[in-house]
Amino acid sequence: MLTYTSSYENFKMFKPKRPLVMGIINFTPDSFYAQSRAVTEIQISEKIEKMISEGVDIIDVGAYSSRPEADDVSVDDELGRLLQGLKILKKIAPDIPVSIDTFRAKVVETVFDKFGHFIVNDISAGALDDKMFNIVAKLQLPYIAMHMKGNPQTMQNNPVYGNLIKELTTYFTEKIKHLHDIGVKNIIIDPGFGFAKTTEQNYNLLANLKDFKNFGLPLLVGFSRKSMLYKLLNATPEESLNATTVVNTVALINGADILRVHDVRAAVETVKIIEQLKNKNN
Query: Which residue out of 260, 272, 278, 280 is catalytically annotated?
Result: 260
Contacts 24+ apart (CB under 8 A), 73-78: 73/28, 75/104, 75/106, 75/107, 78/102, 78/104, 78/107
Q: For residue 34, how many other CB atoms are within 10 A of its CB?
A: 11
- Tell me the pairing of strands 98-101 and 119-122: parallel
User: What are the two backbone dihedrals, phi and then psi, of residue 87, each rounded to the nearest 5 degrees?
Assistant: -60, -40
Residue 152: name the closest of 209, 196, 107, 108 by CA: 196
Specify whether the CB–CB gap between 251 and 222 falls below 8 A: no
Query: Which ranges in the chain belong to alpha helices (H)?
Result: 41-53, 75-92, 105-115, 132-139, 164-181, 199-207, 227-230, 241-253, 264-281
Q: Is 67 a catalytic residue?
A: no
Could you count the other beta carbons within 10 Å of the beta carbon of residue 159? 16
What's the CA gap between 186 and 32, in Å, rounded? 30
Integer-rounded Cα radius of gyration of the chain: 17
**HSE-up of 111 (CA within 13 Å, CB side)?**
34
Catalytically annotated residue among 81, 104, 226, 272: 226
Annotation marks residue 260 as catalytic = yes
> Would you please indicate which residues are annotated as catalytic (active-site) residues?
226, 260
